[in-house]
């Protein structure tokens, strides 16, 4: 057995321990406040727009699916959620013509109405395009929610509400954000069911 193979059990144990610690960092108070905002949006038939880069882009798509499809209940209105990263034609057109920093703010100019929610997902909290999206959403009368990690970054200061995982490992923070997406959507489905 090689030295690399010998070290895997220790690496695995340490990784899993830190992952559990990340879940323990989820603020129940902040989570409750975010769920209250999402429930209000559902009741008012407002839309939820979600954005992120890299792994957080896939979390945005995943969360939009959880909120829209994952909360469907026969005979009840659907939850209206969409990931801005899904419109690849619009995203690449804006990136090409105006720069990548504007890809979410320009999309929100087309679709966000006052009272809608913008969920900004960023491990660092400093992604320029996500920050610009949050800034635009606030100016346009939207409600901004951050799913953040690391030190929280600019988005921790900009967003109306944030759920912040104070950890500097991308994998752990992104995994926690997906966990949060599942937790929120499954609770909302239970509430929609009545």
List phi, psi (to 5°) of 143: -105, 130
Q: Looking at the predicted structure, is the pLDDT value of residue 1 above 90? A: no
Q: In 3D, which of 104, 132, 110, 122 has the Cα closest to residue 59?
A: 122
Mean pLDDT of the region 138-166 = 97
Mean pLDDT of the region 85-90 = 95
155 falls in which pLDDT band (50, 70, 90)? very high
- Separation between Cα atoms, residue 128 and residue 180, nearest integer Å: 23
Contact status, residue 116 vs residue 41, Cβ threshold 8 Å: yes
Residues near 123 by beta carbon (within 8 Å), at least 6 away in sequence: 55, 56, 148, 149, 150, 170, 173, 174
State the Cα angle at 11 between 5 and 14, rounded to 5°. 160
User: What is the extent of the structural domain holding 138?
Assistant: 3-193
Total domains present in the chain: 1
- Separation between Cα atoms, residue 73 and residue 86, nearest integer Å: 24
- Separation between Cα atoms, residue 28 and residue 12, nearest integer Å: 28
- Chain-wide mean pLDDT for the chain? 96
pLDDT in tens, 14-36: 999 999 999 999 999 999 999 99
Give residue 3's pLDDT: 54
pLDDT in tens, 159-183: 999 999 999 999 999 999 999 999 9
**What percent of the chain clears pLDDT 90, i.e. is strictly above it?**
96
CATH number at residue 141: 3.40.50.10490
Q: Looking at the predicted structure, is the pLDDT value of residue 135 above 60? A: yes
- Separation between Cα atoms, residue 174 and residue 56, nearest integer Å: 7
pTM beyond 0.85, yes or no: yes
Give residue 6's pLDDT: 78
Which regions of the chain does DSSP assign to beta strands (E)? 48-51, 81-83, 117-122, 143-148, 161-164
């Amino acid at each position: 057995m090689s030295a690399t193979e010998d070290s895997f059990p220790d690496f695995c144990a340490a990784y899993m321990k830190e992952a559990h610690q990340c879940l323990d960092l989820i603020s129940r108070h902040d989570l409750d406040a975010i769920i209250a905002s999402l429930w209000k949006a559902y009741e008012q038939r407002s839309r939820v727009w979600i954005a992120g880069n890299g792994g957080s882009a896939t979390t945005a798509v995943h969360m939009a699916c959880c909120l829209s499809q994952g909360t469907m209940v026969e005979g009840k209105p659907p939850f209206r959620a969409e990931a801005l990263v899904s419109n690849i034609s619009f995203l690449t057109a804006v990136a090409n013509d105006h720069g990548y920093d504007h890809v979410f703010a320009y999309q929100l100019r087309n679709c966000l109405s006052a009272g809608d929610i913008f969920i900004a997902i960023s491990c660092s909290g400093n992604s320029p395009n996500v920050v610009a999206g949050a800034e635009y959403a606030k100016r346009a009368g939207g409600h901004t929610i951050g799913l953040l990690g690391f030190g929280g970054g600019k988005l921790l200061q900009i967003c109306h509400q944030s759920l912040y995982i104070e950890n500097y490992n991308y994998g752990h923070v992104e995994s926690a954000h997906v966990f949060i997406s599942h937790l929120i959507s499954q609770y909302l489905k239970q509430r929609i069911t009545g």
